[in-house]
Structure 1
Amino acid sequence: MKKVLLAMGLLSAWQQLLAQQPADSAHTQLKQIVVSAPRIEKAMMHIDLKKIPVNTAQDLLRKVPGLFISQHAGGGKAEQIFLRGFDCDHGTDVNISADGIPVNIVSHAHGQGYSDLHFLIPETVESIDFGKGAYYPEKGDFNTAGYVNFATYDHLDNSLIKVEGGSFNTMRLAGVFNLLADKSAAKRNAYIATEYNYTNGPFDVQQQFSRFNLFGKYNQWLNDKDYISFQASTFTSGWNASGQIPERAVAEGLISRWGSIDPTEGGNTSRTNAALTYRHQASADESWQSFFFYSRYQFNLYSNFTFFLKDPVHGDEIQQKDDRSIYGFEQQYTHDYTVGNSRLTWQSGAGLRLDDIQDLELNHVYRRDTLLNRLAWGSGRETNLHAYTGLTWHTGHWRINPAVRVDHFIFNYQDKLKPANGDPGVTATRVSPKLNFSYSTGSIAQWYLKTGMGFHSNDMRVVMQQNGKDILPFSAGADLGVVLKPVPNLLIQPTLWYLYLQQEFVYVGDEAVVEPSGKTRRLGVDVSMRYQPVKWLYLDADVNYANAREIGQPKGANYIPLAPVLTSTGGIGVNLPMGFSANLRYRYMKDRPANEANSLVANGYFVNDLMLAYTHRQFQFTVQAQNLFNINWNEAQFETETRLQHETESVTDMCFTPGTPFYLKAGVSVRF
């Protein structure tokens, strides 16, 4: 009897302890998701952000189910992105934005659509909106495999200071400061955030990576109908890089796994953004929004992919420079109508983006300082005018959404190595229709069929070489899926998808460029699962399969290099009593072809990370262990023709950047 009473007492104590979980955890539950809601991915991502901690800008991208990234140039370069059977390079086939500001850089010095998210401070990000495929009329250039938009907080309840340190001489300081103490009015909000990062990394050549970020935001309701928001951010970073190293150099003992062939790789970059939003609520059914943005961007990168293949004396190091200003404007109009027992929403928009490129360079250099040869040098302007309109008709269990988008491009490029007088420029137009259906069966399931066309633009230098032909390759695709919620705390979303692309981009290692090739098709299956059996336990898993092939090539020679085949991410999150929490995360990528014949393979990996936290009043203490089991894995991999200094002939093999080894970081933060 005493044992029974003791057990009952322990159970009662455990229930009381569970009731003491942090308020944020208690109020963020999977059962809150409504299956019949549109864009359910955004609601699911909101839960993920609350349940799974984020610490870096890279972690933010990894939040998107099925999206993988790899870093191969010292931490300061934009990540390589993989999504839905695409090696998106640094963003060619995924449209990325932050608070509506485009992140993708067109006609970039390193790669088309280059997307550097390092200006984002993770503690300022409130939500992530994403969509796979090209079914969204408000998304334009680069929206083929999908889109991602990060939204920062408009309002803060408190301020935050965080200090972190860890392996490889890593240090991070972050602060978010609420500038307005009057929380009751909720009419005005203002805050600033700052971040400083430093690390040497695990490599023999110390990265000496440093980055400084500053962000500020102000918003106010001017009256009951008018709202205004202004934000500004700036960041600058510099680093050294070990680069990609040949497998044979490690196997022969010439360098260690953490060594380098050219120790002078690296770079520096900076970006400053400003944006102004004005919204007018004309009535309960009608609203306008105007959005203006400006970015000042600079980039300077030193790389050596082929070592001594072209220049056996000085080596093949290249310098890529980019210096530009970006101007943009978006106008959106929304009107809701009630027609009988149905609802109709009409949304239209128009805008422009102008990239004023002062300097675009590709140079052959020696140890960064000596210019040996200018390989490309120019300036130019690239203008994108666009408009879209769409209807969403909601009647009964059905939601039908037809839409169309039109993009018009004007390319003007001045080649400083081959000056031409009176260059008229090149223009091109792309029309992208969309048609989406969904059918909801109450609170249990929502079936959907999404169809549409998208596109990605080409680099202006390719546009000039092609004389304007085939310069806006289109995609056409469809998603057939269902969102299932058989019980309130279980969400399952399987999707079958297909995507055709008029033109593909393939990495060419010996030139360190991306070139167009033929038509491709991709088909696959995505499955997402979220399960919260009790309030303190959160389970998630995403499994993604893609079959990607070139069209018109013989079987066995039609593989798409580096296209992901099978990927999965997921984990277990536990919010324990008295402020303790733990998250065990995994990410898996299967072996994939490294060339068209699949004769070389990019090795897959299975990596685990563990995050522990203890929260007491306004303080939080964290410990992170990345690559928990200290496996050897290759983060970036390429088939590349290279020659080392002692070799008489070139060799084509795999070059790679090793993934981070076991890495421990601890931190403390205080809210006030």
Structure 2
Amino acid sequence: MNKITLVLFIIAICYCPEILGQVVISGVIYEKTNTALPGANITVDNGQGTSSDMLGRFKLILKPGDYAITASHIGYESLQINVKVGSEPVDNVDFHLTPGEIELSDVVVTTEEARSLKRISAYDIKLRPTGSSQDVLRLVPGLFIAQHAGGGKAEQIFLRGFDIDHGTDIALSVDGLPVNMVSHAHGQGYSDLHFLIPETIESVNFNKGPYYAEQGNFNTAGYAAFQTLTRLDNSMVKVEGGQYGTLRAVTMLDVLNRQVAGNREHLYLASEINLTDGYFDSNQNFSRINFMAKYAGYLGNDRLLKIVASNFSSQWDASGQIPQRAINSGQIGRFGAIDDTEGGKTGRTNLNLQYVSSLPNDAILSHQMFFTRYDFKLVSNFTFFLNDPVHGDQITQSENRYIYGYNGTFEKEGQLKGAKIKSEVGAGFRFDDIEDIRLSHTLNRKEVLEDLARGDISEVNLYGYVSETLHPAADLAINASLRYDYFMFSYVDALSTAYERQTERKGAVSPKLSINYRLTPAATLFVKGGLGFHSNDTRVVVAREGRDILPKAYGLDVGGIFKPAPNIAVNIALWQLHLDQEFVYVGDEGIVEPSGKTRRKGVDLSIRYQLLKWLYLDTDINYTDPEAVDEPEGANYIPLAPTFTSIGGLSVRFANGINGSLRYRYLDDRPANEDNSVVAKGYFLLDAVVNYRQPKYEIGISVVNLLNRKWKEAQFDTESRLYNETTAVSEIHFTPGSPFFFKGSISYFF
């Protein structure tokens, strides 16, 4: 496959698009401030279509004739321009879109599945409230989360039959900056998105399975790439307050918005402070503060510079997971704790630079450089007095990290004997320098009783990929891509009596192929197949001497996106995913555990329905059949792997400024151990939001767990021993989910 894609790439660069009597039509999509609008739909009345690129530009290749060309974007009024095409290229077919109502009809079904999903995502963001970091992750259809450490720890993630823990099998990024942490003190792939201020989110590009060349490490179950706003429509101050001592304040300031000699510049500042005591018996003393600055400079229509700087810090106390027997005996209440000295603190500083430039022949070259300074400390106690009956089993995990990285991409569209072809080539690296990564047995969060593991890690990931998308017909798109990743692992064990740097190197090749066919203007079918992988912790790699440390994922998706009516969008996929043998570093215990081959298959269904101009319905339904391949029947369950989930709701937006939503979350019962003798109980919850917005202000109320259900948010089958017990007991340990929680907010726009 690599030779084929290389040949296609060379031909695509060299081929002239004006052959065979076809003519190039080009232009730029702008929004109201004359700022380029990327990701807009451009459709032609003959059925052809495309989208605007990162610079807002688009290009169509048409035969001579008269055409009606329409530009649309979620949240903007559609605009149509009539164009007469002769024998010469037509330039400056520019569109200026004005803000408008949210219409599902603006979601256009095309042969590019990713582009169609991005439209649906933009539609969701315009309708759904995202007032917390948890809401940010819930924007991905089928993704469930659980928080179990006072709000400061990264959420536990569930997707496509995976207990992803904190990020082992989903690749997360913000403005191209990777979120997943390799060789993390708490666990591989640890992804803390709390540095992202929800109000700054502009879009989220997501997809499922290991089929995307630009996505590398951790992209097995899927990926989610968040993009922040390029500019602000207005400045804002927002204050929220609610039960349990909850206070949140957000400020977003538009400090630069000017146009000089055709160049457009934007700069805004954003901050967030979040405080709460929590609903637990022990005060959680939670605090989080975020700062962010983003500059975007458009140098004409052919260059774009973006600079993002952010800083995040958080600290909290936690009650941890509690055993059911302690509640049954009356030792603690439902919101009590066995060890309320748990908690942690963490911080992250990011600097992210992106430069996009136009090259001759409609090519685009993009560069990104990023730097992250990260620190982390987490105090936990999962087993209480199982290992140390005198002092208890409290552990502390900590690390200090620096991340350096570069991404570069080259994109070009052209023709191959009358067929449209798009080429993309990418390359880059990521270097993690991790100092004093540590697991310690501690007492009362202060005293170190024993270091269980300690050392320094450096990990480098070099990568390159090539992707070719061929349109042999207007209704058919074929993508073939190939990615190569090369890893260099290094670990120095600080507890070893002699100095020794343990090193290993390993590479992974990931071919991918997808076919999209537009059956009708309202229906597109797709087939996707490919290989992905996730890396293992450096401490696993050196312990295994490099064997079986980049387990592959083999995926296949078959499905389609349909619009049976302009106000209905349906996305359905039948899929399966196989994972190879892997070895996992258990950060909570400092040991390496083997995990065998697994197989998952299922069906994903998403529906978006605009019932009336002001009434919207959405639902995501996901069924999965997960199993361990090499285990006997009855002992082949995958602990905590979800089998049936659904999320959705009703949203309203009235012209008088009233808007709101009623949303549900449903998670079915699932096995908590390998033979299903212990079950993690599911739940059904309702949340509600109502707002009243006017040009200068917005007031709102929100309720979590409207029905005040008693539910278990995070659950684990754990062996533990309480202080007064003589023997250990294995049972469900859980973090109680939020009770009825009321919050009010007021925002001022200026």
SS in 1 for 2:510: strand
Distance in 1 between residues matched to 2:456 and 2:588, nearest whole Å? 25
Q: CA deviation digits over 1:10-61, x for unaligned, max 9? A: xxxxxxxxxxx99999432111111115211111000000011110121010
1:386 aligns with 2:470: no
Structure 1, unaligned runs of 5 or more? 1-20
2:485 corresponds to which of 407, 424, 438: 407
Which residue matches 2:133? Answer: 57
The 3 A distance-change label for structure 1 pair 513 and 56 is: farther
Which residue matches 1:586? Answer: 664
Q: CA deviation digits over 1:193-245, x for unaligned, max 9? A: 00000001100111110001000011112344222111100000000000000
* TM-score, with length taken from structure 1: 0.95
1:111 corresponds to which of 173, 183, 187: 187
Distance in 2 between residues matched to 1:245 and 1:252, nearest whole Å? 13
Residue 534 of structure 1 aligns with an amino acid whose one-letter code is L
SS in 2 for 1:114: coil
Distance in 2 between residues matched to 1:373 and 1:303, nearest whole Å? 15
The 3 A distance-change label for structure 1 pair 510 and 471 is: closer
Shift of the alpha carbon at 1:186? 6.3
Q: CA deviation digits over 1:625-646, x for unaligned, max 9? A: 1000000000000000000000
Which residue matches 2:617? Answer: 539
1:214 corresponds to which of 291, 302, 318: 291
Which residue matches 1:81? Answer: 157
Distance in 1 between residues matched to 2:237 and 2:392, nearest whole Å? 46
Which residue matches 2:105? Answer: 31
Shift of the alpha carbon at 1:539? 0.3
1:274 aligns with 2:351: yes
Aligned CA-pair RMSD: 1.8
Which residue matches 1:442? Answer: 520
2:538 corresponds to which of 433, 452, 460: 460
Distance in 1 between residues matched to 2:252 and 2:661, nearest whole Å? 24
CA contact (8 A) 2:492 2:502 kept: no
Distance in 2 between residues matched to 1:103 and 1:668, nearest whole Å? 31
Q: How does 1:128-147 map to 2 (within 5 A)?
A: 128-147=204-223
Q: CA deviation digits over 1:437-474, x for unaligned, max 9? A: 00002322000001110001100111111111101011
1:71 corresponds to which of 113, 130, 147: 147
Distance in 1 between residues matched to 2:259 and 2:273, nearest whole Å? 28
SS in 1 for 2:448: strand
Distance in 2 between residues matched to 1:530 and 1:514, nearest whole Å? 44
SS in 2 for 1:179: strand
Structure 2, unaligned runs of 5 or more? 1-74, 78-97
Shift of the alpha carbon at 1:400? 0.2
1:608 aligns with 2:683: no
Once the two structures are overlaid, the 10-residue window that deviates more, 227-236 or 589-598, is 227-236
Identity across aligned pairs (percent)? 49
SS in 2 for 1:107: coil
Q: CA deviation digits over 1:573-622, x for unaligned, max 9? A: 01134111120000100000000000000000001100000012211001
The 3 A distance-change label for structure 1 pair 22 and 447 is: closer
2:713 corresponds to which of 611, 626, 635: 635
1:364 aligns with 2:441: yes
Distance in 1 between residues matched to 2:377 and 2:594, nearest whole Å? 24
SS in 1 for 2:258: coil
1:178 aligns with 2:222: no
Distance in 1 between residues matched to 2:747 and 2:582, nearest whole Å? 46
CA contact (8 A) 1:297 1:325 kept: yes
Residue 530 of structure 2 aligns with an amino acid whose one-letter code is G
Greater RCO (Cα-Cα under 8 Å, separation 6 or more): 1
Distance in 2 between residues matched to 1:262 and 1:230, nearest whole Å? 43
The 3 A distance-change label for structure 1 pair 504 and 326 is: same
SS in 2 for 1:88: strand
Distance in 1 between residues matched to 2:592 and 2:380, nearest whole Å? 15
Which residue matches 1:375? Answer: 452
Shift of the alpha carbon at 1:494? 1.3
Q: CA deviation digits over 1:368-395, x for unaligned, max 9? A: 1111000000002100000000100013
Residue 111 of structure 1 aligns with an amino acid whose one-letter code is G
SS in 2 for 1:533: strand
The 3 A distance-change label for structure 1 pair 512 and 649 is: farther
Residue 36 of structure 1 aligns with an amino acid whose one-letter code is T
Which residue matches 1:317? Answer: 394
Shift of the alpha carbon at 1:422? 5.2
Q: CA deviation digits over 1:130-154, x for unaligned, max 9? A: 0100000000000000001100011
Shift of the alpha carbon at 1:421? 4.3
Aligned residues: 652
Distance in 2 between residues matched to 1:167 and 1:284, nearest whole Å? 59
The 3 A distance-change label for structure 1 pair 22 and 199 is: farther
Shift of the alpha carbon at 1:284? 5.2
Which residue matches 1:338? Answer: 415
Q: How does 1:152-171 map to 2 (within 5 A)?
A: 152-171=228-247
Residue 31 of structure 1 aligns with an amino acid whose one-letter code is S
CA contact (8 A) 2:374 2:402 kept: yes
Which residue matches 1:96? Answer: 172
Distance in 1 between residues matched to 2:616 and 2:738, nearest whole Å? 27
1:237 corresponds to which of 304, 309, 314: 314
Q: How does 1:7-18 map to 2 (within 5 A)?
A: none
Q: CA deviation digits over 1:546-590, x for unaligned, max 9? A: 110001110000000000000000000011341111200001000
Distance in 1 between residues matched to 2:545 and 2:172, nearest whole Å? 28
Residue 317 of structure 1 aligns with an amino acid whose one-letter code is Q
Which residue matches 1:12? Answer: none
1:44 corresponds to which of 120, 123, 143: 120
The 3 A distance-change label for structure 1 pair 399 and 510 is: closer
CA contact (8 A) 2:441 2:451 kept: yes
Residue 624 of structure 2 aligns with an amino acid whose one-letter code is A
Distance in 1 between residues matched to 2:571 and 2:433, nearest whole Å? 43
* TM-score, with length taken from structure 2: 0.85
CA contact (8 A) 2:537 2:584 kept: no
Shift of the alpha carbon at 1:157? 1.6
CA contact (8 A) 2:491 2:502 kept: no
1:349 aligns with 2:426: yes
Distance in 1 between residues matched to 2:583 and 2:331, nearest whole Å? 33
Once the two structures are overlaid, the 10-residue window that deviates more, 279-288 or 642-651, is 279-288
Distance in 2 between residues matched to 1:233 and 1:516, nearest whole Å? 38
Shift of the alpha carbon at 1:522? 0.3
Which residue matches 1:297? Answer: 374
1:253 aligns with 2:330: yes
Once the two structures are overlaid, the 10-residue window that deviates more, 417-426 or 482-491, is 417-426
SS in 1 for 2:401: strand
CA contact (8 A) 2:209 2:221 kept: yes
Once the two structures are overlaid, the 10-residue window that deviates more, 420-429 or 89-98, is 420-429
CA contact (8 A) 1:509 1:640 kept: no
Shift of the alpha carbon at 1:509? 11
Which residue matches 1:5? Answer: none
Q: CA deviation digits over 1:250-300, x for unaligned, max 9? A: 111110000000010000000000011111101352110010000000000
Shift of the alpha carbon at 1:512? 8.2
